[in-house]
Structure formats: structure tokens, C-alpha cells
């Protein structure tokens, strides 16, 4: 069975500050890892994903995440956040013959002026 732990339910930061949203997973097979973002009153948008290859993956809006197999982590980082980054962020894992996306409970990132 797979599981995902997002250690922080809420992360408040000031605009232009760096941020890290933590995600740890548990799985007995090779995994694919995802970060989804959900803006208020909207659906989920794929932010970035790790399937294979380079362990550092980047999004078009400045976020990046690094797959660390030894620490079973996939933390999301951004060096300088904007107010528009305020949203709920979900880490998710799938893999092997498991068709399911297993989500973490989500982290609410609130960027204050």
C-alpha cells in the first residue's frame, strides 16, 4: 500500500520569501510523484511530476521539487513566492500496477503582503 504525508497543514509566508512544502511517501514499489495545486474554488492543476530520470523537476512558474529516494521525500520549493501562489497544494503518489493516485491531506500556502 502507498501513503503520502504532508507534514504541514498550513504554511503562512510573506511575499518574496522562500517556501518549502514537505511531502514524504511510503511505497513498496517504484513510484511516480506529483504536486497538484488547487486555487480557491477551482479544480486541481498539475504543477509538476517525477516519473523517471533527473530527480529535480521544475514548473513553469518557478516551483521545483526534488525526488529523494533514500529519504522517501518529494519536497516542493520556491525561492520567492507571490501573493498569487496562495492555494492548497497536494502531493500525490502512484506506481506499479496501482492505478490509484494517493493524495496527501494537502498544505494550505498563504502568502501575505
Partner 1 sequence: DTEVTQTPKHLVMGMTNKKSLKCEQHMGHRAMYWYKQKAKKPPELMFVYSYEKLSINESVPSRFSPECPNSSLLNLHLHALQPEDSALYLCASSQVMGGENTDTQYFGPGTRLTVL
C-alpha cell at 78: 520556491
- Residues 13, 112: contact at Cβ < 8 Å? yes
Select from 20-28, 54-62, 68-76, 98-106 the region that touches partner 1 (CB under 8 A): 98-106
For the bound state, the minimum distance from the C-beta of residue 105 to partner 1, rounded and expressed in Å, comes to 6
- Residues 15, 86: contact at Cβ < 8 Å? no
Backbone angles phi, psi at 19, to 5 degrees: -140, 150
Q: Determine, following the binding rule CB under 8 A, whether residue 22 of this chain makes contact with partner 1.
A: no
Q: Determine, following the binding rule CB under 8 A, whether residue 17 of this chain makes contact with partner 1.
A: no
Tell me whether residue 69 or residue 105 sits nearer to partner 1 (CB atom). Answer: 105
C-alpha cell at 88: 492548497
Tell me which residues touch partner 1 (CB under 8 A): 32, 34, 36, 41-46, 49, 51-52, 90, 94-101, 103-106
Amino acid at each position: 500500500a502507498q501513503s503520502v504525508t504532508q507534514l504541514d497543514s498550513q504554511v503562512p509566508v510573506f511575499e518574496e520569501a522562500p517556501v518549502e512544502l514537505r511531502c514524504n511517501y511510503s511505497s513498496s514499489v517504484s513510484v511516480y510523484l506529483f504536486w497538484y495545486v488547487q486555487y480557491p474554488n477551482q479544480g486541481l492543476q498539475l504543477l509538476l511530476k517525477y516519473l523517471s530520470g533527473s530527480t529535480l523537476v521544475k514548473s513553469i512558474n518557478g516551483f521545483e521539487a526534488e525526488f529523494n529516494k533514500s529519504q522517501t521525500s518529494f519536497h516542493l520549493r520556491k525561492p520567492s513566492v507571490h501573493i498569487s501562489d496562495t492555494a492548497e497544494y497536494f502531493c500525490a503518489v502512484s506506481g506499479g500496477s496501482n492505478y490509484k493516485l494517493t493524495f496527501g491531506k494537502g498544505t494550505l500556502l498563504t502568502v501575505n503582503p
